[in-house]
Chains A and B, each alone.
Chain A
Amino acid sequence: MWRKIRTRGCVSDSMNDIDEIVKGIYLKEPRAIGRAISIIEDGDQRAGAILKQINAKSIQDSTIVGITGPIGTGKSTIINQLIAHYRTQGGRVGIVAIDPSSPVSGGALLGDRIRMMRHAMDKDVVIRSMATRGKQGGLCASAAAAVRIMICSGCNPVIIETVGVGQAEIDVVGLADITVLVLAPGAGDEIQVMKAGIIEIADIVVVNKAECPGADSLIMELENVLHQRNCAVCRVIAREAYGIENLATAIGKIDRERRKSGQFTGKRKQIRETEIIDCAIEMMRDEIRSRLQECPGNYTGDPRAIARKLIDDICVTELDMLKRKRPEVFS
């Protein structure tokens, strides 16, 4: 009665051919998009081949929105509502949802997806859950590549969601054109949030659960702190979609203004810089670690001097190798 559905363990080979994958990205195929992101995330050698083929123009045309904030402020609800809003306007939305990897096991519970399952059947909502994978900055550099891949597949905007705890908050600013900080009354010590750096660099601050007691005083405090910076404060009741259109409008307004003034291009340059530096550091990290471990003397003395020496050694080695390969360049 049952026909065999598939053979246990067979692999569809086309999904491992880079050209097929890139073609698939532009054709909006979920499998290709997902596979491309994995290849980059896992540090597969073929990552470079994919990234090379990514169209620069479409990247410029799309907007990257970072959404961060403490746990319990309702970020997921807001994102769900924003997705719905952009979809009613016919847009195709990408979401990169980032959760921390366990420093002990290296694993992660990627718990944002479950809150977005209502979009599971919508082909124009592209979601990828990513773990930080122990990257120093708390935010994976591969997130930037994932964003670009989503943009290539037609997503605009792409939302990056992170839990705003510590470093990750600041880092999302490094990846996004526009950063939205979500707060809510009673969801954490607001004074602490005020002290943390993110308040100084967020582009929009949302006060969610605006119907709850404490919301008004929170908004007043925020306006005090933010009025010099001309940073918008949006009142939202995410559960009822109240204020979402307003928020989307505010995002759109900042986007237009920045593109006009050239600030957008400047920020993109910064983002690119951040990504390249992150990548460089990651590439160097293992090399530095292994050289460090080679010499027991490295564990005493001034760390800065040791670091300087290690870097110089690496450069010398590279230079030596280059001299040997291309002696004519150095004669």
Chain B
Amino acid sequence: MNEHPAFVEWKERVLKKTLERFPERQKEFKTDSGLPAERLALPETPDEKYLSKIGFPGQYPFTRGVQPTMYRGRLWTMRQYAGFSSAEESNKRYRYLLEQGTTGLSVAFDLPTQIGYDSDHKLSRGEVGRVGAAIDTFDDMEALFNGIPLDKVSTSMTINSPAAILLAMYVVAAEKQGLKPAQLGGTVQNDILKEYIARGTYIFPPHPSIRLMTDIIEWCSREMPQFNTVSVSGYHIREAGSTAVQEIAFAFANACTYVEAAVSAGLNVDVFAPHMTFFFNASSDFLEEIAKFRAARRLWAKLMKERFRAKDPGAQKLRFHTQTAGYSLTAQQVDNNIVRVTLQALAAVLGGTQSLHTNSRDEAITLPTEDSVRTALRTQQIIAYESGVCNTVDPFAGSYCIENMTDRMEQEISALIGRIDAAGGMIAAIESGFVQRQIEDSSYAYQKQIESGERVVIGLNKYQESEEVSPPVFQINKFTEENQIMKLANIRAKRDNQRVRKALARLEDVARGKENVMPYIIEAVRCYTTLGEICDVLRSVFGVYEEAKGY
């Protein structure tokens, strides 16, 4: 194989370039016994099938990985999702995580923030700071990143409907650190379609939401080229109860909708697609998950090349963040969850993820304590430094089992995408309820399997304990809501309200027209307009989405 022209070409064209850009982490990679760990294990004589379907990492169709050296060159980003109570408290947790060795930040916002309500809104009662940090104005954003150099740390923000506003706040907070947008790296999730089918934090109806989305993509492609503008998510679809096939198929169908929208808006697929990332679930079926990731990479590369005529390999590469499956964790015998998370994280790594969040053992009950999040992080670190799996790229390639599964997954995913296409695309499929029904059916079937015992969950329906000791529950600061409300009143009193009114009026005009809203949102954010005030203006222009399909 070593002399095969395809391999030689790959070494010259792809591998060499990467090694020049960043060398591998070590001079040599050895197993525990001191034997050399090969960079890429290959068949003796590669056949056509191998070359076209499996190929080489960093080269189309990327089945074996999007980088030629994968973790030998750089480990995945260890990015733990965190946030609760106020910006100040979340900031403390971020600093703790960075000290403990995470290599990227992942911000959780509370529900009022995600749904565009200020902390003093009637509907925010009881929800402020519960599932993430409460962010009302850019003041909170500054506090969130206090002491964290934004040009050195990449930040992923799980925010969708009001993504433009949080992004604007991030930009202004970085400004205060003396940084330009072009220096900032990170991601905004900005994936609205999955909200309608799996997550529920939508605000506006689909079409104006997509307009906001494309405004972000367009603005960032000019001003923030290092920033990922979309993280198309399958994770939540899986959490809502879908199968692995549905997870990828629906995420890809969403992604295709976004690409189509961006192309219609005049953007060049080779320019913006390299900034599209994905977010997947790492669930318990170890082998299937590895196959899933590999199939996803191959299929996405084909979709980009054939459907959207992307020429730049950067636009064909599927780069993704992974989170271990929240739904698989049990509230009973929580230590078992550490084992589950370990296997799931390993599957994600063997599947070639670029970034990883590992759940804490008590997440079926509470937000993670410092203690439990540290263990979750150590899980990643042990895999990275002690297990040896990072020394070889895509070690499962060539396994009959994994390659057959990969092929099978690709087929099934492709077929389901075909059904969405036939239904008129994802938006039509969502409006008709097709997607929701698919997810509901899978979810119900899964539950029935657990109830019947067909699907074993240790500690839940097998080997249960009669006396359960509850792990400590993480308490958010109970004064968070009160404090945020006071803060808001203070800010509203002190800011230049004239300027705020003007900024909102300008924004409304622009929202009704076709111009990009980002600069106007940034201006509004700068003068301490609140998230809720900006969203209210947008609600008045775009309307609100109402859940139409119950069952």
Tally of B interface residues using CB under 8 Å:
7
Interface size class on chain A is: 10 to 19
Nearest A residue to B547, CB-CB: A114
- Cα–Cα distance between A109 and B549 once the two chains are bound (Å): 12
Main SS class of interface, A: helix
Is A109 in contact with B551, judged by CB distance below 8 angstroms? yes
Chain A residue numbers with a CB within 8 Å of B547 are: 114
- Cα–Cα distance between A216 and B546 once the two chains are bound (Å): 29
- Cα–Cα distance between A118 and B547 once the two chains are bound (Å): 10
- Cα–Cα distance between A118 and B543 once the two chains are bound (Å): 14
- B535-551 contacts to A, CB under 8 A, are 546-551
**Residue A117, interface by CB 8 Å:** yes
Chain A residue numbers with a CB within 8 Å of B550 are: 109, 111, 113-115
- Cα–Cα distance between A114 and B436 once the two chains are bound (Å): 15
Partner of A76, one of B432, B548, B551: B548
Chain B residue numbers with a CB within 8 Å of A118 are: 546
Main SS class of interface, B: loop
Chain A residue numbers with a CB within 8 Å of B551 are: 109, 111, 114
- A145-190 contacts to B, CB under 8 A, are none
**Residue A48, interface by CB 8 Å:** no
**Residue A72, interface by CB 8 Å:** yes
Nearest A residue to B546, CB-CB: A118
- Cα–Cα distance between A108 and B367 once the two chains are bound (Å): 36
- Cα–Cα distance between A76 and B548 once the two chains are bound (Å): 9
Chain A residue numbers with a CB within 8 Å of B432 are: 72
Nearest B residue to A99, CB-CB: B551
Q: How far is the CB of A131 from chain B (nearest CB, A)?
A: 13
- Cα–Cα distance between A109 and B550 once the two chains are bound (Å): 9
- Cα–Cα distance between A117 and B546 once the two chains are bound (Å): 9
Q: How far is the CB of B51 from chain A (nearest CB, A)?
A: 43
Chain A residue numbers with a CB within 8 Å of B546 are: 117-118
- B500-551 contacts to A, CB under 8 A, are 546-551
Q: How far is the CB of A238 from chain B (nearest CB, A)?
A: 11
Chain A residue numbers with a CB within 8 Å of B549 are: 114
- Cα–Cα distance between A1 and B432 once the two chains are bound (Å): 47
Q: How far is the CB of A95 from chain B (nearest CB, A)?
A: 16
- Cα–Cα distance between A117 and B551 once the two chains are bound (Å): 14
Q: How far is the CB of B206 from chain A (nearest CB, A)?
A: 12
Nearest B residue to A76, CB-CB: B548
- B354-383 contacts to A, CB under 8 A, are none
- Cα–Cα distance between A201 and B458 once the two chains are bound (Å): 59
- Cα–Cα distance between A76 and B549 once the two chains are bound (Å): 10
Q: Mark A86-117, 1 if CB is under 8 A from B, else 0.
A: 00000000000000000000000101011101
- Cα–Cα distance between A115 and B547 once the two chains are bound (Å): 7
- Cα–Cα distance between A109 and B551 once the two chains are bound (Å): 8
Nearest B residue to A186, CB-CB: B424
- Cα–Cα distance between A77 and B432 once the two chains are bound (Å): 13
Chain A residue numbers with a CB within 8 Å of B548 are: 76-77, 114-115
Q: Mark B273-288, 1 if CB is under 8 A from A, else 0.
A: 0000000000000000
Chain B residue numbers with a CB within 8 Å of A76 are: 548
Chain B residue numbers with a CB within 8 Å of A113 are: 550
- Cα–Cα distance between A261 and B64 once the two chains are bound (Å): 79
- Cα–Cα distance between A118 and B551 once the two chains are bound (Å): 17
- Cα–Cα distance between A231 and B432 once the two chains are bound (Å): 29
- Cα–Cα distance between A114 and B550 once the two chains are bound (Å): 6
- Cα–Cα distance between A302 and B43 once the two chains are bound (Å): 76
- Cα–Cα distance between A130 and B56 once the two chains are bound (Å): 60
- Cα–Cα distance between A275 and B200 once the two chains are bound (Å): 43
User: Most A CB atoms within 10 A — which of B549, B550, B551?
Assistant: B550
- B294-346 contacts to A, CB under 8 A, are none
- Cα–Cα distance between A53 and B549 once the two chains are bound (Å): 38
- Cα–Cα distance between A28 and B255 once the two chains are bound (Å): 50
- Cα–Cα distance between A111 and B436 once the two chains are bound (Å): 14
- A48-82 contacts to B, CB under 8 A, are 72, 76-77
Q: How far is the CB of A115 from chain B (nearest CB, A)?
A: 6
Q: How far is the CB of B5 from chain A (nearest CB, A)?
A: 51
Q: How far is the CB of B75 from chain A (nearest CB, A)?
A: 46
- Cα–Cα distance between A111 and B433 once the two chains are bound (Å): 12
Nearest B residue to A187, CB-CB: B432
Chain B residue numbers with a CB within 8 Å of A117 are: 546
Chain B residue numbers with a CB within 8 Å of A77 are: 548
Q: How far is the CB of B202 from chain A (nearest CB, A)?
A: 15
Q: How far is the CB of A246 from chain B (nearest CB, A)?
A: 23
Chain B residue numbers with a CB within 8 Å of A109 are: 550-551
Q: How far is the CB of A90 from chain B (nearest CB, A)?
A: 24
- Cα–Cα distance between A77 and B549 once the two chains are bound (Å): 11
- B136-171 contacts to A, CB under 8 A, are none
- Cα–Cα distance between A117 and B547 once the two chains are bound (Å): 9
- Cα–Cα distance between A46 and B550 once the two chains are bound (Å): 34
Chain B residue numbers with a CB within 8 Å of A114 are: 547-551
- Cα–Cα distance between A111 and B548 once the two chains are bound (Å): 10
- Cα–Cα distance between A113 and B546 once the two chains are bound (Å): 13
- Cα–Cα distance between A114 and B549 once the two chains are bound (Å): 7
Q: How far is the CB of B190 from chain A (nearest CB, A)?
A: 25
- Cα–Cα distance between A109 and B547 once the two chains are bound (Å): 16
Q: How far is the CB of B123 from chain A (nearest CB, A)?
A: 14
Chain B residue numbers with a CB within 8 Å of A72 are: 432
- Cα–Cα distance between A120 and B551 once the two chains are bound (Å): 19
Q: How far is the CB of A80 from chain B (nearest CB, A)?
A: 9
Chain B residue numbers with a CB within 8 Å of A111 are: 550-551
- Cα–Cα distance between A64 and B149 once the two chains are bound (Å): 68
- Cα–Cα distance between A102 and B517 once the two chains are bound (Å): 50
- Cα–Cα distance between A115 and B550 once the two chains are bound (Å): 8
- A176-231 contacts to B, CB under 8 A, are none
- Cα–Cα distance between A113 and B548 once the two chains are bound (Å): 10
Q: How far is the CB of A267 from chain B (nearest CB, A)?
A: 33
Q: How far is the CB of A215 from chain B (nearest CB, A)?
A: 15
Q: How far is the CB of B174 from chain A (nearest CB, A)?
A: 41
- Cα–Cα distance between A109 and B242 once the two chains are bound (Å): 21
Nearest B residue to A109, CB-CB: B551
Nearest A residue to B434, CB-CB: A72
- Cα–Cα distance between A162 and B547 once the two chains are bound (Å): 20
- Cα–Cα distance between A115 and B549 once the two chains are bound (Å): 7
Nearest A residue to B550, CB-CB: A114
Q: How far is the CB of A83 from chain B (nearest CB, A)?
A: 14
- Cα–Cα distance between A172 and B163 once the two chains are bound (Å): 47
Nearest A residue to B544, CB-CB: A118
- Cα–Cα distance between A105 and B197 once the two chains are bound (Å): 28
- Cα–Cα distance between A97 and B432 once the two chains are bound (Å): 19
Nearest B residue to A72, CB-CB: B432
Q: How far is the CB of A147 from chain B (nearest CB, A)?
A: 23
- Cα–Cα distance between A117 and B550 once the two chains are bound (Å): 11
- Cα–Cα distance between A9 and B446 once the two chains are bound (Å): 34
- Cα–Cα distance between A242 and B432 once the two chains are bound (Å): 20
- A30-59 contacts to B, CB under 8 A, are none
Q: How far is the CB of B529 from chain A (nearest CB, A)?
A: 28
Q: How far is the CB of B372 from chain A (nearest CB, A)?
A: 30
- A10-36 contacts to B, CB under 8 A, are none
Q: How far is the CB of B471 from chain A (nearest CB, A)?
A: 26
Closest 5 CB pairs of A and B: A114-B550, A111-B550, A111-B551, A109-B551, A115-B548
A-B contact pairs, 17 of them (CB 8 A): A72-B432, A76-B548, A77-B548, A109-B550, A109-B551, A111-B550, A111-B551, A113-B550, A114-B547, A114-B548, A114-B549, A114-B550, A114-B551, A115-B548, A115-B550, A117-B546, A118-B546
User: A109-B551, A115-B548 given. 10 additional CB < 8 A pairs?
Assistant: A72-B432, A76-B548, A77-B548, A109-B550, A111-B550, A113-B550, A114-B547, A114-B550, A114-B551, A118-B546
